[in-house]
Chains A and B, each alone.
Chain A
Amino acid sequence: MEAGQTGVGRQRVNGSTASAIVMHRIGRVLQRNRQMITLSLQACAHCALCAESCFKYVHSGRDPRFSPSYKAINTIGKIFRKKGRLSESEYQAVSSLAWESCALCMRCYCPVGISIPSLIACARSVCRERGIFPR
């Protein structure tokens, strides 16, 4: 959203400007996936058994920040808890997790059966609505 546009309602959200339309669209994305996100995050037992199935986790020397549950909780978990109202730097952190730490190869193994790629994909949609795209 350009600064010169008129007729677009703006609101200051956590120190960064995001137009009301963008926040509304983010809200719609979150509302549409609300049940899936809440059920998945509630069912997550925080067991970290998904880590070994992620090749990026293995390839990075077993850095715990690459485990799929960490990625899901710290992207869509954060977005959902704050209802999409994150600061610019928080969105940058979320987008770097969602795009650089995850290839969306859909091979993560969750013993409980949570679909982690769906959560990452949802986080990516929210970041795209916000105007943040992979470099």
Chain B
Amino acid sequence: MITAAQKPREEIFAMIRSYREAQRPRDFLQCLTVGCGGCASICMAGGQREILGLNEQLTEMARSAKVPVRFSSVTVERQCNPQFLEDIEDMVRDSDCLLSCACGAGAQHLGDRYADKPVFPALNTLFLGVDVDTGLYEERCRACKSCVLGQTAGICPLTRCSKGVLNGPCGGTRADGTCEVGNGIPCAWSSIYERMKNQGRLAEILEIKPPMDWREKGQGVLVQAGFEARYGRAGRG
């Protein structure tokens, strides 16, 4: 699930304030805060509850800075799916700018759909993570497009190793099993070793994995299996 965190309130307010000062369509600026009921809600960054609190605080900041901005809110099921963005068309028409509380994908999608209104992101998208506990989320995946979890006993070396090395520890593991980088980060390759040993697959750790192919750095497109007839194949050129 995509994990995101809210930007500092001051940063959000500065974006809206500079837009207001640049353009004055009427005597106040109507800003619509759009929440997301998907990943942003689950990681408690951009759900209905959060955008209500955000609007309260932004209204307070606007009042004290004497910037005439009004905030309204709506939460859609997901901002990454076009059908859910159709419901709010009338609200967007009455607003001057949009504040998107979804991940980067959702914020861009909102901007694609309603291209004549500026879309300001309220969240910093952090990573693909798991819910360890309520309010605690840990990164597990970096979407590198070539998953090696099968060879590393389910621990992603790209994400959980500070250097992202693919073939064994770098030699900087400290005596207690933490990474030499510090902060108590466990050495991923120590843990991979332990787990492979527990699973009886220690011989496989000696197989060398080729380096990651970072050539395809452009925008990723996926045509899922079975839909090639509908959309053609995805590929370069």
Chain A residues close to B by CB (< 8 Å): 53-56, 58-59, 103, 105-107
Contacts and interface: CB of A to CB of B under 8 A. Distances in A.
A56 B42 contact: no
A58 B72 CA distance: 13
Interface of B: 35, 37-38, 41-42, 44, 47-49, 74-78, 87
B161 to A, nearest CB: 31
Contacts of A107: 41-42, 44, 47-49
A54 B37 CA distance: 9
Given A103-B38, A106-B42, A55 B87 contact: no
Contacts of A55: 35, 37, 41, 47-48, 75
The 8 closest A-B pairs by CB, nearest first: A55-B75, A105-B41, A55-B48, A103-B37, A105-B37, A103-B77, A107-B47, A55-B37
Contact of A58 (B38, B41, B42, B75): B75
Contacts of B78: 103
A55 B76 CA distance: 8
A107 B87 CA distance: 21
A53 B47 CA distance: 10
B41 A59 contact: no
B38 A59 contact: no
A103 B41 CA distance: 10
Contacts of A103: 37-38, 41, 77-78
B49 A56 contact: no
B42 A59 contact: no
Contacts of A59: 74-76, 87
Contacts of B87: 59
B187 to A, nearest CB: 33
A16 B47 CA distance: 40
B35 A105 contact: no
B2 to A, nearest CB: 13
A98 B76 CA distance: 17
